[in-house]
């Protein structure tokens, strides 16, 4: 694959379930170079359907991983769930600009806000740079959606849970942002459903964040 993201066929090396509906798919690296926050388009070689998934693995890993939620009636997610080691996978990419700035002068503290599987690019962020200064807010409905939280520094993680007891904060990530202003000096990355992103963006702007310091990636 060249730097423009040419399509190639790679082989699945494993799949691990994180919940009844969510799994991590691992496959060959294939020489792909990427930046944390970028995504791939995946599908079966003999099919035309493709879906976009943020890269879940670290830049130094010998393999690639994506975090997939199997959607009821979803075509591609169901096909990916049925893959087994050795099966072929059509891969396009990497794509996307939901990445850390190249300019070191604008880097610093990171505020990472995710809902559900929107945590995927932040998993790559944290695993790729052990020195990253971040606070991660992860919004979920239940503790079954704590997707491999052990990969993160527990002192830098706030688990926001809405439908059961548990976690670190009872409520949505936007509720946490309202009640815990973070200071407008951070670089803020929002990844998840569009309603969360619109609401969080407005909260951050009200708290003094400049729009150029807020990055967004919508997960449908």
Q: Are residues 52 and 91 in the same domain?
A: yes
Q: How many domains does the chain have?
A: 2
64 and 126 share one domain: no
Which comes out higher in pLDDT, residue 1 or 53?
53
Q: What pLDDT, in 10s, does the model give residues 53-97? A: 999 999 999 999 999 999 888 889 999 999 999 999 999 999 999
Q: Is 3 domain-assigned?
A: no
113 and 84 together in one domain: no
Residue 105: per-residue pLDDT = 53
> Cβ(148)–Cβ(138) under 8 Å?
no
Domain span including residue 149 = 104-218
User: Strands 39-43 and 51-54, how do they pair?
Assistant: antiparallel
Q: In terms of domains, do 16 and 85 share one?
A: yes
The distance from CA 40 to its chain's CA centroid, rounded to whole angstroms, is 12
Q: In terms of domains, do 57 and 144 share one?
A: no
Regarding whether 91 and 109 lie in a shared domain, the answer is: no
* E strand spans, 123-186: 134-140, 157-161, 169-170
How far is residue 169's CA from residue 93's CA, in Å, rounded to a whole number?
A: 36
ω into residue 94 within 30 of 0, thus cis?
Answer: yes
CA distances from 24 to 117, 175, 218 (A): 11, 29, 20
Question: Given the structure tokens 């790729």, which residue do they identify?
Answer: 128
| Structure confidence by residue, pLDDT tens digits, 2-29 | 444 568 999 999 999 999 999 999 999 9
DSSP 8-state class, residue 176: H
Q: For position 117, which CATH number holds?
A: 3.40.50.80
CA 22 to CA 144: how far, in whole Å?
10
Residues 90, 159 share a domain: no
Cβ–Cβ under 8 Å, residues 100 and 107: yes
């Amino acid at each position: 694959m060249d730097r423009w993201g040419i399509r190639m066929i790679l082989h699945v090396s494993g799949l691990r379930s994180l919940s009844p509906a969510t799994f991590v798919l691992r496959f060959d690296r294939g020489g792909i170079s990427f930046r944390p926050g970028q995504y791939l388009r995946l599908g079966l070689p003999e099919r035309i359907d493709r879906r976009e998934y943020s890269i879940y693995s670290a830049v130094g890993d010998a393999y690639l991983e994506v975090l997939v939620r199997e959607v009821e009636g979803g075509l591609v997610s169901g096909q990916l769930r049925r893959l087994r080691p050795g099966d072929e996978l059509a891969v396009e990419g990497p794509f996307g600009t939901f990445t850390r700035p190249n300019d070191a002068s604008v880097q610093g503290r990171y505020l990472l806000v995710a809902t559900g599987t929107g945590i995927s690019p932040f998993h790559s962020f944290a695993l790729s740079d052990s020195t990253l200064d971040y606070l991660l807010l992860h919004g979920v409905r239940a503790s079954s959606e704590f997707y491999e939280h052990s990969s993160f520094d527990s002192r830098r993680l706030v688990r926001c849970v809405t439908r059961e007891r548990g976690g670190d904060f009872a409520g949505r990530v936007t509720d946490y942002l309202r009640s815990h202003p973070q200071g407008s000096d951070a670089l803020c990355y929002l990844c998840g459903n569009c309603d969360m992103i619109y609401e969080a963006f407005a909260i951050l702007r009200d708290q003094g964040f400049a729009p150029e310091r807020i990055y967004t990636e919508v997960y449908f």
